[in-house]
Amino acid sequence: MAKSRTAPGQEDLTPRYRDVRALSEALAAPLSDADATAQSMPDASPAKWHLAHTSWFFETFVLRDHLPSYRPFDPHYAYLFNSYYEGEGERHARPLRGMLTRPSLDDILSYRAHVDAALLAALPGMDPQAQALVMLGLQHEQQHQELMLTDIQHLLSLNPLEPALFDAPSGMPAALPGAIHWIEGRQGLVEIGDDGKGDFAFDCEGPRHKALLHPHALAHRPVTNAEWIGFIEDGGYRDPALWLSDGWAWTQAEAIAAPLYWRQEQQGWTRFGLDGRKPVNPAAPVCHISLYEADAYARWAGARLPTEEEWESGALNVPPTSGNQLDGPACPRPQATDDNSALTRMFGDVWEWTGSAYRPYPGFHADDGALGEYNGKFMSGQFVLKGGSCATPRGHVRASYRNFFYPHQRWQFTGLRLAKDL
Amino acid sequence: MAKSRTAPGQEDLTPRYRDVRALSEALAAPLSDADATAQSMPDASPAKWHLAHTSWFFETFVLRDHLPSYRPFDPHYAYLFNSYYEGEGERHARPLRGMLTRPSLDDILSYRAHVDAALLAALPGMDPQAQALVMLGLQHEQQHQELMLTDIQHLLSLNPLEPALFDAPSGMPAALPGAIHWIEGRQGLVEIGDDGKGDFAFDCEGPRHKALLHPHALAHRPVTNAEWIGFIEDGGYRDPALWLSDGWAWTQAEAIAAPLYWRQEQQGWTRFGLDGRKPVNPAAPVCHISLYEADAYARWAGARLPTEEEWESGALNVPPTSGNQLDGPACPRPQATDDNSALTRMFGDVWEWTGSAYRPYPGFHADDGALGEYNGKFMSGQFVLKGGSCATPRGHVRASYRNFFYPHQRWQFTGLRLAKDL
Amino acid sequence: MAKSRTAPGQEDLTPRYRDVRALSEALAAPLSDADATAQSMPDASPAKWHLAHTSWFFETFVLRDHLPSYRPFDPHYAYLFNSYYEGEGERHARPLRGMLTRPSLDDILSYRAHVDAALLAALPGMDPQAQALVMLGLQHEQQHQELMLTDIQHLLSLNPLEPALFDAPSGMPAALPGAIHWIEGRQGLVEIGDDGKGDFAFDCEGPRHKALLHPHALAHRPVTNAEWIGFIEDGGYRDPALWLSDGWAWTQAEAIAAPLYWRQEQQGWTRFGLDGRKPVNPAAPVCHISLYEADAYARWAGARLPTEEEWESGALNVPPTSGNQLDGPACPRPQATDDNSALTRMFGDVWEWTGSAYRPYPGFHADDGALGEYNGKFMSGQFVLKGGSCATPRGHVRASYRNFFYPHQRWQFTGLRLAKDL
Amino acid sequence: MAKSRTAPGQEDLTPRYRDVRALSEALAAPLSDADATAQSMPDASPAKWHLAHTSWFFETFVLRDHLPSYRPFDPHYAYLFNSYYEGEGERHARPLRGMLTRPSLDDILSYRAHVDAALLAALPGMDPQAQALVMLGLQHEQQHQELMLTDIQHLLSLNPLEPALFDAPSGMPAALPGAIHWIEGRQGLVEIGDDGKGDFAFDCEGPRHKALLHPHALAHRPVTNAEWIGFIEDGGYRDPALWLSDGWAWTQAEAIAAPLYWRQEQQGWTRFGLDGRKPVNPAAPVCHISLYEADAYARWAGARLPTEEEWESGALNVPPTSGNQLDGPACPRPQATDDNSALTRMFGDVWEWTGSAYRPYPGFHADDGALGEYNGKFMSGQFVLKGGSCATPRGHVRASYRNFFYPHQRWQFTGLRLAKDL
Ligand SMILES: [Fe+3]
Ligand SMILES: [Fe+3]
Ligand SMILES: [Fe+3]
Ligand SMILES: [Fe+3]
C-alpha cells in the first residue's frame, strides 16, 4: 500500500496511538492462533504477521532510530517482520510467512505490549521528527488493519466450512436504488493533491499541483450488485469485445465468471464475507471485482472509469469521514434512498477503481532511505483506487488518498463508479 | 505409504487401540494450534490433519460400515479428512490442507474422543472382519505417526527461528564405527513376502513368493555421516558421472549439495532435527537423502544399492523390533561399536533406500473398493525403502514391509546401506 | 503494436502499396525457410508469419469485406494468420506459431502475390472507405516490418553460432558525444495528439487535446552506451534503491545485469545485433533496455523519464522523417557531434521509453468491430515509447505516435532520454 | 534411448554403414528445411538435429578418438549436437534445439557427407575396437531413425493443416481379429538377457542371467483399436479405480480421454499419423498410449501387463525380424487372420509396454567414460518396452532389447499386450 510524513500538528499523539493500536487487537480478537498464522496466498499475510509488522515499523523507524536506550523485544524479529524495505536488509521470504507458527499470537501480543510501553513512555518528550514518524506508523497500521481483514476473509473463504468471523445484519432492502444520475464535474484547471493542511498525508499524495480536466460527469453512486447481475446475465463475462486484452486472458486462464467469493446456487447468487456466506444483496455496491472487470463493465454500460483526477476533484467537497467505513462489521451496505443530485457514497463501502495507472504526481520525489521505499517503488503496473471501503478505519482516507493494486487483484473491497465524457 | 488386512489373531485389540491412539496425541502434545495447522509443502500435511484423518479412517471404514447406530461427529469431516480414496468421493484439495485453521486442534481432539468412545464401546462385540479393519486402522495410524513427525520437522525447518520440539542427547561418540564389512547374502531361490503368520501385514507385502537372488553381499551397517562428508569433500555432488540423469537434473534445478537440513557453518556441518540445529554427528547414519543421492553415493563407493529382495532376505533373521525406533526423541543415533560380523541396524534409525522400483510382488492383487486404493495405485515412479526409522513406532515394521517414496523425496528419515555383486 | 484509420488524402495508393509490400520481402530476403519459420519466444513471431499475417489483414479487411468477387488464397489461412482479433473468430495459438513449418516461405510469397494482384487490380476503383483500410493495412505492415526484424534478431541470438544477417560498418567514433544539455520544454497548456492533418494516424493517437505541462527539461540526446557502462560499473544493477519494486524482482528472477544481447568479454562489452556480435560502441545510444532499466538509470542519474506529453510536445518541431530510421542495416548509430542547443535524435535510432502508462488519450473511443481491437484493448500494464528506431520504416512515425510495450520487454530497439523538473 | 558395444563379428561394416546412413537421409527426404528445423516439445528433436547428432556420434567416438588425422567439419558442432554426454562437455540446451535455423539442412547433409567420406575411407583399416564403435554408431543411428519419425509426426500434428508425409493404404479389413487367446509361458528359471552371440547388443541388455518366472500367460496378440474403443465407451478414462494414482492425476491435468492423435468426429474416431488424418482402423493394434493408459486398460480387462522377463522369455523363439517393421510407410497395420495358437506380432507394429521399471539387469555395470552414459543413467522413473514398432528399422530389435520411456510419454508407437497369472 502507501505512505508519507507530513509533520503532525501539535496534537498530543498519545490517545490516537492508544486507539489505533487497540483497534488492531480488537480486530484480531476473534482469531485463534491458527487463524492468525495461516497465509492463503503470497499476496496476503497472516494476521499475526500484520500485528507484528506494524510493531516492527515503530520499533525500527521510531524506537531504534530515536530512542538510544531502547532494547528490541527479540533481535530475530527484524528479519521476520520487515515487509519490503530493502534498505533494512535481508528478510523472511514473503510466500513463507505462513510457516511462522512461532512466535505465537500470544508472543506477538507481548511484543506489541513491549513496543507500546516503550513508545508511550517516550512519546511526550519526543522531538517533532520522531513524532512525525509515530504518525506515519499509525497511518501505516491503519492500512494494515484493512489488509488484515481482507486477508482473513480470503483465508476463511478457502475453508470448505466457510466460517463467519462475525454476524452482520443481512440488510435486504425494501427497494433498489434508482437509476444512475450523472453529476457534471469541474473542467479546466483544478488543484489536486495534498495541500499540506491536514494532519497527515502520504508522500505519493503530493505535491499539490494543477491538473487539467476535460468535460466529464461521474455517476452519483457506485454500481450495484443488481446491475452487476445484469452484466453477467447479458453475457458480459463471455464477450471478448468488452475486455482489455490482458483482462480477457485472465478470465480465460482463471475461469472468471463472477466477482470473487460469489457462487451461483439454486436460489440465486451468494457471496462469502466476514459474516459468512449470504445471498448477494442487490442494493449493495458490487465488491471484490478486478480492474479488468470494472473496465469491462464500464464498456458494457457505454461509459468509462473515472480518471483519478476527476475522482479527486469530485470528492473535494465530500466529507472524507462520511460513508460506511470501519466502525463495526466490515461489509458493504445496501442503500436504497441515495440523494441523486450530488455525488454520494464517495467514501466508504468499496474502493473505486479509476482508469489511472499509479504513477507519480508531477513533481513527486521519494524520500531518501528505507522509508522512501514506502510508496514510490510500486509505481508500475498498478491502478489507482479512491475513496476507502467498509474496512478502512474511519479518519484514515481523504480525497487525495491514492490506493493501488494490480489490475487482476480483487480480494480487497473493490468496486466502481462510472464516468463519461461530456 | 502402505496397507493391508490380514485377519488379526484372536488378540483383544482394546489395549493396542488405546496405546496407538494415545501415542498420536502424545506426539502432538508439544504443538500449538498453529503448529498443528500449517502445511509446509504439498507432500506434507498438518499435524491436525493427521490426527483427524486417522480418526476419519476408523469412522468411515469401521464405524460407518459396521456400526449402524454410529453418528458421525461432523458430516463435513468426510470431505475435509479423506486423503486419497477416490472411492469415498470428493475431498479437500491436498495443497490446501494448511488453510483449515478451523476446526481447531481442540476440536480435533474432541473428534478423536468421539471416535474412540464409539469404537471402544463396540470393539468387544465386533465381528472378525470389522476387527481386521480396526487392526488396519491402527497400522494406518502408526504410519501417520511417522509422517506427522517428519512433516513437523519440515515445517519447523522453514522457520528462521529453527525451534526445537524437544531436547535430545547430542551423543557425540568417542569413536567412529569401523570400516564396512561385507556380509554375504543367500543366493538362489529364497522365499520372501508376507508369510501370513504375523498378526498383520499390508496387502503389498504379499503374496509370499519365491525370488531368485544372485551372488551378493550387503554392508554390515548403514553409511555414516562421516562417510557422507567424504563424498561431499570428494566432489560427489559436482560430478555428473556419478548420478542418474534425473538425479543430476534435480541437483542442478534445486541447487542440491548436501542432505536436507544440512548447513555448512564455519565450525563444520550442522543439521536441523526435531531437537533443533545441532552439529552433524559423524558416527550417526546419514539421513534425509534422496534415492538419487543414495544411488550416486553407492556409485562413488564402487558399490550399488541392494535390491529389495536382497534386503528382505537378509533381514529375515533380524528381530524387527530391534534398533532405534520410536520410543523417545526421533533422531538417528550414533553407534561406534557395531558388531561387524553380521547385518546390524537393519531396523530403525533410517529407512534404507533399495534399488527396486515399487511394483507389485508376483501375484499381487489389490482389493476391491476404496481400501484397495491403499497401496496398489502408487506403484509407479517410486522406490522401495526398508527397515523403518527412528520415527517408526516400535512393532510396526518387519522384513517384508515395503515403504515407498519418489526418488527426489528426502524429508523422511531416509538413508542407505551399500550392496555389491559377488 | 498499434492502429487507426484517418481517411487518406486523395493520394494514389498504388506506388505506396508496391513499396511497402516490396520492403517486407526485401527484409526477409536473407532468410531461409527455416529462419522464417522458427519462433524464439511467445512474444515474437516467425518472419513467415509476419509476411502472411500482413497479407491476411488486407485479405480480410479489404478484399473480403469490399471486393465480393475475391477468392481467398487458402481458406485455412484465416485460422493460421489472424493475430488477436477476437471478432474474427478462432485462431492458431500464439505460442505455437513456430510449429507452422508448412505453408513454406515460398507458399507465403505466393500468397502475397495473390493478394497483391487482387488488391492492385481493385485499388483504382476502390471507394474511399476501402482505400482508408488499405492505408491502415500499409501502416500495419510497416509495424510488422519492425517487429519482423526484432524477432529475427532475437531468434538468431539464441543460436550459439550467432549468425549475422548483414554486415554493418562498426562506426567506432573518434570522439564521444559531449555531456547532456538540458532543453527547457513548453509549460502550461499545449495541444497534442493527432491533428488530423497528416495522411494517417492510428486511432490511439487522437483525439487532439489539450495537455498541461509542468516546468521541465529534456536532455538534448539519448543516453549512450558509454554512460550506461558507467551505470553498470557504479553498481546500478545491484542497488535495489534505484529500482521499481517489480523491476528489482525482475532483475533477481532473470539475473539481469546488462542490456539484452550484451556480454562481458575479456576485451570489454560486446552486443549481438543483426550484424552479428560486435563491441559495444560507446558513442551509440544504449539499446535493448527495459522500462525498468530505463527508470533505474534515470533515478541513478538524478533525473526521471519524460512523460509522453512532454516528449510529444518537444517533438512537435522536429521533422519525423529525420534520424536513423530503416533505410539500410537496422542498427543504432554512434554520433559524436550532435548539436547540443536543441533536441536531437528524437526520431530514429531507439524508441524512447516514457514514464507514461499506455492509457487512452482524453476522449478516445475505440471503433466498433474487429478493427476496434487494434489498439484500445492493450491499454493496461504497458508503457508508451516515442520516436521510432533504426528499424522503423522512414515515414511511418510522427510526434503523436504511441508505441507501447510491457515494462520488462526489451527485444525491441528501446532506449531512453532523460528529463527533469525545473 | 539405449546402447552397448559387443564386438562385431568379422563382418565388413561398409555396406551396413552405407545402408544405415542412406536410410536416415531417405527418411528425411520429404522434409523441407523448415520441417527439419522445428522442435515440437522438449522431448522431441528436430529432424536436422537427429541427422547431425548421429554424425557427431561417429565424429566424436570414432573419428576423433581413433583417426588422428581427422579434421572436424565444424568445431562448433560438438557444442550443438552433443545430446546428453556430460563427459563430452557443455552443450546446447535441449529445449532450444528448434532455434538452430542454421546450419541449414543442406549444411547438415554436407556434414554427413564429410563424416561418411572420412569414415568409409578409414573403415577397412580400422582396429576392432574402433569397428565396434562404428557398429554402436550404426545401432545408435537406427534408434534415432525411429525417433526422427515419431518427432516429425508429433510436429506435423501441431499444424492445423495436418499435413501427411506420405500416403499409406488405409487397410480397412474385412474382419476383425478374433478374441484373445492366452498362451502359457515358461515358468521357473529361464535364461534371458544378451547371450553375446548376436552381432550386437546394447550394454543394458546384459549380462545374460537367470530369471524366475511365475505361472503366467500372454495374449497371443496386442490389444486392438476396436477393443480400445470398448474401453473408452465403458468409461475407462473416467473411472479412477482403474488407474495408477499418478496416471489419474495425469488424465485430469492433461484432459486425457483417448490415445494421442485421436479425435472424435461425427463419423467416428480418427487418428493422425505420418499418412495424415484417417479413420481409426479397428483391426490395427492400439498405438500412442502411455503406460498409465496401458495399465488402466489391463486392469479394466481383468488382466495385467507382462513383466519384461515374461515378455523376453516368450519372444525367444520368435524371429526378431518378423512383423511390421520399418520397410515402407511407418504405420501400425491391421491384421484379421492371426494364428491364435502362438504368440504373434511380438515384433513390429507397436512397442509393448511392460510392467517392469527400467532398472539394471543383475550384474549390469555401465562402462567408464562418456559412452557409459548411453543407457545406465536413465534407470529411474521409466518403464521397459519390448518388441519394436512399425518405425523400427528391420534388423535393429531383438528379444533382449530394452526400450524405455516415462509412463506418461506416448508419442512413440506404443501399445500393449495383456498378461495374466495362472
Ligand atoms: Fe507495511
Ligand atoms: Fe492415510
Ligand atoms: Fe498485426
Ligand atoms: Fe543419441
Task: Give the tens place of pLDDT for each residue, B99-138.
Answer: 999 999 999 999 999 999 999 999 999 999 999 999 999 9
> Closest-CA residue in chain D for C75?
D161
Question: Do the Cβ atoms of B132 and B49 come closer than 8 Å?
Answer: no
Q: What share of chain B is helix, strand, coil (3-state, %, to 5)?
A: 35, 15, 50
Chain C neighbors of D104, CB-CB under 8 A = 32, 34
Asked if A163's CB is within 8 angstroms of B80's CB, the reply is no
CA separation for the pair B20, B24 (Å, rounded) = 7
Query: Nearest 5°: phi and psi at C210?
Result: -85, 145
pLDDT-derived band at C144, boundaries 50, 70, 90: very high
For residue C304, what are the β-bridge partners? C419
For residue B285, what are the β-bridge partners? B224
Q: In terms of Cα–Cα distance, which of D293, D288, D239 is closest to D262?
A: D288
Domain boundaries, chain B: 2-157, 182-421
Name residue D216's amino acid.
H
Give the closest ligand to the alpha carbon of residue B3.
Answer: 2
Question: Do the Cβ atoms of D370 and D364 come closer than 8 Å?
Answer: no
Question: Do the domains spanning A2-157 and A182-421 agree at the CATH topology level?
Answer: no
Using DSSP bridges, classify how beta strands D216-219 and D419-421 pair: parallel, antiparallel or unpaired: antiparallel
Q: In terms of Cα–Cα distance, which of C143, C278, C115, C124 is closest to C202?
A: C143
CA separation for the pair B352, D89 (Å, rounded) = 34
Interface mutation target, options B49, B97, B101, chain A, most CBs of A under 10 Å: B101
Chains A and B touch (3+ CB pairs under 8 A): yes
Mean pLDDT along residues C90-117: 97
Chain B neighbors of A161, CB-CB under 8 A = 76, 80, 102-103
Lowest mean pLDDT among A306-315, A326-335, C40-49: A326-335
Query: Nearest 5°: phi and psi at D135?
Result: -60, -45
For residue C218, what are the β-bridge partners? C183, C419
Using DSSP bridges, classify how beta strands C262-265 and C216-219 pair: parallel, antiparallel or unpaired: unpaired
Look up residue D393 and give its three cell numbers.
528399422
Q: Helix, strand, or coil here: C213?
A: strand
C105 touches chain D (CB under 8 A): yes
Please tell me the distance in Å from D389's CA to the nearest CA on chain C.
26
Q: In this predicted structure, what is the pLDDT of residue A173?
A: 66
Look up residue A38 and give its three cell numbers.
495461516
A349 touches chain C (CB under 8 A): no
CA separation for the pair C263, C245 (Å, rounded) = 25
Q: In this predicted structure, what is the pLDDT of residue C2?
A: 40
Q: In terms of Cα–Cα distance, which of B415, B414, B332, B411 is closest to B152?
A: B411
pLDDT-derived band at B171, boundaries 50, 70, 90: low
Residues around the ion ligand 2 (C-beta < 5 A): B 83
List pLDDT tens digits, range B280-330: 999 999 999 999 999 999 999 999 999 999 999 999 999 999 999 998 889
Q: Is residue C215's pLDDT more than 80? A: yes
DSSP state of D74: -
Q: In terms of Cα–Cα distance, which of C342, C339, C338, C352 is closest to C387?
A: C352
CA separation for the pair B265, B233 (Å, rounded) = 15
Question: Do the Cβ atoms of B331 and B275 come closer than 8 Å?
Answer: yes
Interface mutation target, options A245, A251, A308, chain C, most CBs of C under 10 Å: A245
DSSP state of C43: T
Question: For D161, which of C33, C34, C76 is closest by C-beta distance?
Answer: C76
Q: Is residue A163's pLDDT more than 90? A: yes
> Closest-CA residue in chain C for D100?
C159
List pLDDT tens digits, range A400-412: 999 999 999 999 9
B98 touches chain A (CB under 8 A): yes
B381 touches chain D (CB under 8 A): yes
D246 touches chain B (CB under 8 A): yes
CA of D147 to the centre of ligand 4 (A): 10
Q: Residues of B numbered 164-183 whose beta carbons fall under 8 angstroms of chain A's beta carbons: which are they?
A: none
Look up residue B361 and give its three cell numbers.
510382488
Chain D neighbors of B356, CB-CB under 8 A = 359
Q: In this predicted structure, what is the pLDDT of residue A171?
A: 66
Average pLDDT per block of 10 residues along chain D, 422 residues long: 48 95 98 98 98 97 95 96 90 96 98 98 95 97 98 98 89 79 97 94 96 98 97 98 97 98 97 96 97 98 98 97 92 83 96 98 88 90 98 97 98 98 96
Lowest mean pLDDT among B218-232, B378-392, C358-372: C358-372
Chain A neighbors of B100, CB-CB under 8 A = 159
> Closest-CA residue in chain D for C163?
D102
For residue D414, what are the β-bridge partners? D351
A245 touches chain B (CB under 8 A): no
Q: In terms of Cα–Cα distance, which of A197, A299, A198, A205 is closest to A247?
A: A299
Mean pLDDT along residues A365-386: 90
Out of A211-220, C174-183, D82-91, the most confident range is A211-220
Q: In this predicted structure, what is the pLDDT of residue B169?
A: 76
List pLDDT tens digits, range A63-81: 999 999 999 999 999 999 9
> In chain C, what is the straight-line distance between the N-terminal and C-terminal CA atoms, in Å?
33
Question: Do the Cβ atoms of C301 and C416 come closer than 8 Å?
Answer: no
Asked if A34's CB is within 8 angstroms of B36's CB, the reply is yes
Mean pLDDT, chain B, integer: 94
Chains interfacing with B (3 or more CB pairs < 8 Å)? A, D
Question: For C407, which of A245, A356, A380 is closest by C-beta distance?
Answer: A380
Asked if D155's CB is within 8 angstroms of C96's CB, the reply is no
Helix (H) / strand (E) containing C189: strand C188-192
Give the closest ligand to the alpha carbon of residue D141.
Answer: 4
Give the closest ligand to the alpha carbon of residue C55.
Answer: 3
Q: In this predicted structure, what is the pLDDT of residue C3?
A: 41
Q: In terms of Cα–Cα distance, which of B282, B306, B301 is closest to B183?
A: B306
Q: What is the pTM of this model?
A: 0.96
Name residue C278's amino acid.
K
Please report how many Cα atoms fall inside a 13 Å half-sphere around the Cα of residue A359, on the Cβ side: 23
Q: Helix, strand, or coil here: B291?
A: helix
Q: Is residue A383's pLDDT more than 80? A: yes
Q: Residues of A numbered 192-211 whose beta carbons fall under 8 angstroms of chain C's beta carbons: which are they?
A: 209-211
Positive or negative: CA dihedral B272, B275, B277, B279: negative
Question: Do the Cβ atoms of D226 and D176 come closer than 8 Å?
Answer: yes
CA of A156 to the centre of ligand 2 (A): 25
Q: How many CB pairs under 8 A join A and C?
A: 84
The CATH class that applies to domain B182-421 reads alpha beta
Helices (H), D29-102: 47-58, 65-66, 77-81
B240 touches chain D (CB under 8 A): yes
Positive or negative: CA dihedral C222, C225, C230, C235: positive
Query: If you write DSSP's letter for every residue of D334-391 in order, what string do you get?
Result: --S---SSS----SSSSEEEEEEE--PPTT--PPSSGGGGTTGGG-SS-EEEES--TT
Q: Degrees (nearest 5) of the Cα angle A252, A257, A258?
A: 140
Interface mutation target, options C82, C300, C377, C422, chain A, most CBs of A under 10 Å: C377
Express as a percent the part of chain A with pLDDT over 70. 96
Q: Is residue A1's pLDDT more than 60? A: no
Asked if D373's CB is within 8 angstroms of B241's CB, the reply is yes
Distances in Å between the Cα of D402 and the Cα atoms of A56, D122, D348, D386, D387 are 62, 32, 14, 6, 9
Please tell me the distance in Å from B211's CA to the nearest CA on chain D.
7
Q: Is residue A7's pLDDT more than 70? A: no
Please tell me the distance in Å from D294's CA to the nearest CA on chain B.
13
Q: Degrees (nearest 5) of the Cα angle D89, C35, C99?
A: 90
| Contact partners, residue C265, CB within 8 Å, separation at least 6 | none
Q: Residues of D numbered 32-61 whose beta carbons fall under 8 angstroms of chain C's beta carbons: which are they?
A: 32-38, 40
Using DSSP bridges, classify how beta strands C351-357 and C414-415 pair: parallel, antiparallel or unpaired: parallel
CA of C53 to the centre of ligand 3 (A): 7
Helix (H) / strand (E) containing B265: strand B262-265
Lowest mean pLDDT among A137-146, A413-422, B9-18, D280-289: B9-18
Q: Is residue B72's pLDDT more than 80? A: yes
Question: Do the Cβ atoms of D184 and D217 come closer than 8 Å?
Answer: yes
For residue A305, what are the β-bridge partners? none
B107 touches chain A (CB under 8 A): no
Question: Do the Cβ atoms of D77 and D63 come closer than 8 Å?
Answer: no
List pLDDT tens digits, range C85-102: 888 889 999 999 999 999
Query: Nearest 5°: phi and psi at C192?
Result: -135, 180
Asked if D212's CB is within 8 angstroms of B210's CB, the reply is yes
> Closest-CA residue in chain D for C74?
D161
Lowest mean pLDDT among C249-253, C373-377, D286-290: C373-377
Q: Is residue C133's pLDDT more than 70? A: yes
Q: How many CB pairs under 8 A join B and D?
A: 83
Q: Is residue C235's pLDDT more than 60? A: yes
Question: Do the Cβ atoms of A105 and A33 come closer than 8 Å?
Answer: yes
CA separation for the pair C53, C57 (Å, rounded) = 6
Give the closest ligand to the alpha carbon of residue C81.
Answer: 3
Question: For B359, which of D189, D211, D355 is closest by C-beta distance?
Answer: D355
- Alpha carbon dihedral B378, B380, B383, B389, in 10-degree steps, equals -10
CATH number of B2-157: 1.20.120
List pLDDT tens digits, range B330-376: 999 998 776 889 999 999 999 999 999 999 999 999 888 788 888 88
Name residue C23's amino acid.
L
CA of D88 to the centre of ligand 2 (A): 47
Q: In terms of Cα–Cα distance, which of D231, D386, D381 is closest to D293?
A: D231
How large is the ipTM?
Answer: 0.96
Q: Helix, strand, or coil here: B114?
A: helix
Q: In this predicted structure, what is the pLDDT of residue D3?
A: 41
> Closest-CA residue in chain B for A39?
B99
CA separation for the pair A327, A390 (Å, rounded) = 8
C214 touches chain A (CB under 8 A): yes
Q: How buried is A93 (Cβ within 10 angstroms: 0-12 exposed, 13-18 middle, 19+ buried)?
A: exposed
Asked if C155's CB is within 8 angstroms of D101's CB, the reply is yes
Asked if C380's CB is within 8 angstroms of A295's CB, the reply is yes
Q: In this predicted structure, what is the pLDDT of residue D190?
A: 98
Q: Helix, strand, or coil here: B393?
A: strand
Q: Is residue C272's pLDDT more than 60? A: yes
Asked if D161's CB is within 8 angstroms of C96's CB, the reply is no
Give the closest ligand to the alpha carbon of residue C378.
Answer: 3
> Closest-CA residue in chain C for D48?
C34
